[in-house]
Structure 1
Amino acid sequence: MQKNTFQPSFFASLLFIFSLLLSFTACNKSGKDKASQDSALVVQMRKTPCFGQCPTYEIKVFENGYVWLKGEKHIEQIGTFEAKIGKKELAVLKDKFEANKFWDLDEAYEKTMTDLPTTYLRYTSGSKSKEVRRTGDAPENLTNLEDVVADLLKSLKWTKIEDASQESEK
């Protein structure tokens, strides 16, 4: 009598390799994805380009202190970076949004000029969230808040998680 032994087919081998590769890819999440899943967004600011030397970037601060930055042009950090702020610094940041009456600001401050960059500033506290868009002049309390968020670029210790050249390949 001859014993039947299982021999995997070529198709089964390919399927196994594909599922293995897929599982490795699924585990390779960026810091931004992890932070987005683990913690609520508190502050987000995005600055768009202009025809000159305007800094172009997006920064996000999460409730757990995780800070994510994608620098595109005219700033020191080009690429994707991450940093961390402590609970005290996060509380100070939130207090500044409240003290500057972010909730009372209009949703948009716009001046119609094609060369001006636009700044989008979002703040979330509990179930409330608001985004303010600015192109041109704005009330002092809004520009103060933009400066507070922009100061994080200089004050935090950034760790690069992805180069701009790698991002453009995606």
Structure 2
Amino acid sequence: MKKFLILLAITSFFSCGGLKDVSKLKEKDVVLSVHKGPCGGKCSVYNIDIYKNRYAVYEGIANVEKYGIYAVKLSKEQMNELTSVFDANDFFGFDDNYPIESPDFPVITLKYNKENRSKTVTGSIHRPQKVLDLQYALENLAKLPNLKLIKANAPTTVEGQPQANEVSQIIDNEIIVQLQPNISMRSWMEKYAKFQVRVTNKIQATPPKWVIYFNKNLVDADGFLKILQNDKEVKNAEFNKKITHR
């Protein structure tokens, strides 16, 4: 996986012949894809599809760095690298569906079509780490500086600092948490079960950032934030904020 990520970072993805009209690409020709839907908060919403002709098409819909439709063509080696990662992680061996514990969680779908086999894996926050890693590998395509803009879209619900006409208000029973690498969110939450901690949203994929709810009738809000900030398994913790217009 690391080798693949390095390859993405250092290699140009443009072909000499330029990009074709991506509107003519057919769904039946998709080899790999990841589609991420909306959630109850400000989750990123996007689609990434990679076709038999090695064209990769990214569509940024909401809460993303790049809005609109972008495309790039992969070399044969790069295409093989991607499919090899899915094969090495036995994508066809995963369950078709993983539980989505809340209607507020985003629905995330990964698909792999190989010869006469087709596999779709659907879930949300709680999926095997290997499935998450495959999602992140495809997401890295959206970060390439060589993507070519095909069609621009207006930004939708952008996260960021309050603008001049906006006011931020702390939500004192929600904390944004980033765990240390290789720490499982599900296992980590068990330490704080007595405070009725639960995940309400995942606001960033890489590195993962989560919004957690806790019952402030069971623990002082400021005190609980300090507990998390001193937790060695937590990299960052801060209160969530609500942005409203004046």
TM-score, length-scaled by structure 2: 0.51
Name 1:50's counterpart in structure 2.
Answer: 39
The answer to whether the aligner puts 1:34 opposite 2:18 as a matched pair is: no
What does residue range 58-73 of structure 1 map to in structure 2 within 5 Å?
58-73=47-62
- Aligned partner (choices 95, 103, 128) of residue 106 of structure 1: 95
Name 1:143's counterpart in structure 2.
Answer: 132
Offset of 1:156 from its aligned partner?
5.5
SS at match of 2:102: coil
Query: How many Å separate the matches in 2 of 1:117 and 1:153?
Result: 19
Query: How many Å separate the matches in 2 of 1:46 and 1:114?
Result: 17
What does residue range 115-154 of structure 1 map to in structure 2 within 5 Å?
115-154=104-143
Give the number of the structure whose alpha-carbon radius of gyration is greater.
1
Offset of 1:74 from its aligned partner?
1.3
Determine what percentage of the aligned residue pairs are the same residue.
Answer: 26
Query: What's the Cα RMSD here?
Result: 1.9
Instruction: Could you tell me which runs of 5 or more consecutive residues in structure 1 were left unpaired when the two chains were aligned.
Output: 1-29, 166-170
Query: How many Å separate the matches in 1 of 2:21 and 2:56?
Result: 9
Alignment size in residue pairs: 135
| Runs of 4+ with >6 A deviation | none
Offset of 1:54 from its aligned partner?
1.3
One-letter identity of the residue aligned with 2:131: L
Query: How many Å separate the matches in 2 of 1:51 and 1:159?
Result: 31
One-letter identity of the residue aligned with 1:34: K
Q: Is the 8 A contact 1:66 1:83 kept in 2?
A: yes
Name 1:168's counterpart in structure 2.
Answer: none
Higher relative strand content: 2
One-letter identity of the residue aligned with 2:93: D
Instruction: Could you tell me which runs of 5 or more consecutive residues in structure 2 were left unpaired when the two chains were aligned.
Output: 1-19, 155-246
Query: How many Å separate the matches in 1 of 2:129 and 2:70?
Result: 29
SS at match of 1:164: coil
Post-superposition Cα deviations, 1:97-146, rounded to whole Å, max 9, x if no partner, equal 00111000000011321221111100011111111101220111111111
Name 2:151's counterpart in structure 1.
Answer: 162
- Aligned partner (choices 64, 86, 108) of residue 75 of structure 1: 64
